[in-house]
Chains A and B, each alone.
Chain A
Amino acid sequence: MNPFSSGTRLRDMIRAIRSCKTAAEERAVVRKECAAIRAAISENDQDYRHRNLAKLMFIHMLGYPTHFGQMECLKLIASSGFPEKRIGYLGLMLLLDERQEVLMLVTNSLKQDLNHSNQYIIGLALCALGNICSAEMARDLAPEVERLLQFRDPNIRKKAALCSIRIIKKVPDLAENFINPAASLLREKHHGVLITGVQLCTDLCKVSSEALEYFREKCTEGLVKTLKDMANSPYAPEYDIAGITDPFLHIRLLKLLRILGQGDADASDCMNDILAQVATKIESNKNAGNAILYECVGTIMSIEDNGGLRVLAINILGRFLSNRDNNIRYVALNMLMKAITVDAQAVQRHRATILECVKDSDASIRKKALDLVYLLVNESNVKPLTKELIESLEASDQEFKGVLTAKICSLVEKFSPEKIWYIDQMLKVLSEAGNFVKDEVWHALIVVISNASDLHGYSVRALYRAFQTSTEQETLVRVAVWCIGEYGDMLVNNVGMLDIEEPITVTESDAVDALEVSIKRLNSDLTTKAMALIALLKLSSRFPSCSE
């Protein structure tokens, strides 16, 4: 017998690998182990197959190729002992994925194991099947799994339920076979069977409209009752999390009720009371409670309208928005985005808090809040909202500035009530974040200015002022330079002064100096210099005295 075929114990191999100081050292140890394992495999070693597969799995997690061990999984699964099957199925799930043809070879073993006298072995098979089966395997073994939905042991029933989910996702045609057995699971008392049964029904509804109709008609009332019992149940230590009995079951039930109530007035009616109860009674000081409330709000917003409930839901979201916990604020913003399509007015009421979130220190929250604000803008609130957003622009970091600038420009263009307001806002944006403004945007600004003949004087003066203070913003310089070139005479002669303007004294040489500075400044790129030169050219014909 090859003295190396027994190899090291798993523990020793792991220790040896961990004590390696360099990647090269590690590779050497792994190579040696793999060689020993390969030798054992080619000798069809039975005694250490179990340990060798465990070693292979560890090596696989380190990132090394281990496909030579795939057949070992099959051999272990085909063994008669429980320990061998346990590690064999685990290896199968880790080392293979559903697209590999080797997987098909396991189908027969699976079939036998699904009929095994030892229920733990049935469990192993259901788990493996539920995690990685292909469509063909699903089709082959569906009848076995269907049968197991009614097995005597609840732990098998719950595994069968989840395994069925994979089957109907892979082969949606089979869905109708599972409708009736799934419905019976809903009447059980065992929590594991209940949550998996509810999940199975939920997924059945997504792939089969027949299933949806069936559950809606036959099961809605029962589900409402189950949720009521959960909500009213006394303390149950086995399922208690943060003072709530089985939050997971609460959430699954709410999800299924959402699907059943959507688009159906009767079903929605049926669940109004329990939704109100959950929304008002669940405490929101711990994550578990908030998770339930979040789901409840989602359900309320999706089912048919009940005015009172909607108000309740939006108020919960409002409270979430001011919660110190970042996670809660994040999910609130998420849900509010979906709520806009259902009740935009209610969401508008929380505008102030949402605007606060645009300045949040958490990047994920800032981005979500900005997306939400964008959806909230309309003709009546565009002015105050834009003002707030521009203020946020000043405080935001480089990464966020780009996104924020783009959104502001888009809003301003879409909703401008007057041209002068548009020009003002664009000027502020250019001064603050001109470098982030896209070409199409400042081109459009120039077009607007040139078309607004009554605002030519105003524009050039405003741009001149801005130019004095913010020369680092390239785009601002370009627009300013263009305006000075076009309307330099208005600038110098204060033509077309509006009432709101303060007088400004600009001589012809001041204007020319401004252009000169633009050409000479260090950061000016070719476009800016070119534009400045053209502007100078235009001015030279208008200010003949400054031609030098």
Chain B
Amino acid sequence: MIHFVLLISRQGKVRLTKWYSPYSQKERTKVIRELSGLILTRGPKLCNFVEWRGLRVVYKRYASLYFCMCIDEDDNELEILEIIHHYVEVLDRYFGSVCELDLIYNFHKAYFILDELLIAGELQEPSKRTVARLVAAQDSLVETAKEQTSSITNIIAQVANTASL
């Protein structure tokens, strides 16, 4: 299974963390620090796998971001590279040519998308189209709810105005 997902920038800033195994807040900070040190210093020509604490971390760099996923020793590392790419492509489709800034200002959306891709550290959906569709459907639920609230607020405001006349 995937134990956790980390997105870190080249300067070591955390852009996203998702934990599927129990790590306390203190442990999480330690893990992030250790792995940042390990991965950010690796040369570009080296393989995308590092062994760490009896587990394996698969990482891939996309522009200024490192996507890291920690797996068990007997998991398929090459498949995890595909899962990382799967996530990146969905993000790209959603944001339209995604860049790091998109993920900073819309981090909650990056999480929502990840939640349609992985649950309990396992892959949930192999079709990018389906993932995009599900996220879009939920986004429009949010939009609809916003419109309803603002239209109710308008009505109340109008009522309040007429009442004060």
Contacts and interface: CB of A to CB of B under 8 A. Distances in A.
B79 A192 contact: no
A131 B119 contact: yes
B134 A155 contact: yes
B39 to A, nearest CB: 12
Interface in B25-65: 25, 29, 45-51
Contacts, number: 154
A93 to B, nearest CB: 8
Given A86-B112, A191-B126, A362-B47, A61 B138 contact: no
A93 B115 CA distance: 10
B19 interface: yes
B108 to A, nearest CB: 6
B123 A294 contact: no
A326 B123 contact: no
B157 interface: no
B46 A364 contact: yes
A457 interface: no
Interface stretch (A36-44, A161-169, A414-422, A509-517): A161-169
B99 interface: no
Nearest to B79: A291
B126 A127 contact: no
B145 A81 contact: yes
B79 A251 contact: yes
A97 B115 contact: no
A327 B105 CA distance: 33
Interface in B105-123: 105, 107-108, 111-112, 115, 119-120, 122-123
Given A98-B22, A291-B81, A326 B137 contact: no
A298 B50 CA distance: 20
A239 B47 contact: no
B82 A241 contact: yes
A279 interface: no
A58 B107 contact: yes
Interface stretch (A242-250, A373-381, A387-395, A430-438): A242-250
B151 interface: no
Nearest to B28: A97
Given A131-B119, A159-B119, A327 B141 contact: no
A294 B16 CA distance: 30
Nearest to A14: B105
A291 B112 contact: no
B49 A364 contact: yes
B155 interface: no
A447 B142 CA distance: 79
B138 A238 contact: no
Given A57-B107, A331-B77, A248 B82 contact: yes
Nearest to B142: A83
B104 interface: yes
A196 B120 CA distance: 11
A442 B125 CA distance: 58
A448 to B, nearest CB: 35
A192 B47 CA distance: 30
B97 interface: no
Given A82-B142, A238-B129, A127 B123 contact: no
B17 interface: yes
A61 B107 CA distance: 10
Interface string A92-118: 011001110000000000000000000
B116 to A, nearest CB: 8
A99 B124 contact: no
B82 A247 contact: yes
A251 B81 CA distance: 13
A191 B124 contact: no
B146 interface: yes
B78 interface: yes
Given A86-B138, A127-B115, A327-B78, A248 B123 contact: yes
A122 interface: no
14 contacts: A14-B105, A61-B15, A127-B115, A130-B119, A131-B119, A162-B120, A165-B122, A192-B124, A192-B126, A196-B124, A199-B122, A291-B79, A326-B48, A330-B49
The 10 closest A-B pairs by CB, nearest first: A291-B78, A326-B47, A162-B119, A130-B119, A192-B125, A166-B120, A83-B142, A130-B120, A248-B126, A291-B79
Interface of A: 11, 14, 18, 54, 57-58, 61-63, 81-83, 86-87, 90, 93-94, 97-99, 120, 123, 126-127, 130-131, 155, 158-159, 162-163, 165-166, 191-192, 195-196, 199, 238-239, 241, 246-249, 251-252, 255, 287-288, 290-291, 294-295, 298, 326-331, 361-365
Given A90-B111, A90-B115, A94-B111, 18 more contacts: A58-B107, A82-B138, A82-B142, A86-B138, A97-B19, A97-B23, A99-B22, A131-B20, A162-B119, A192-B125, A239-B126, A248-B123, A255-B76, A291-B76, A326-B45, A329-B47, A362-B47, A364-B51
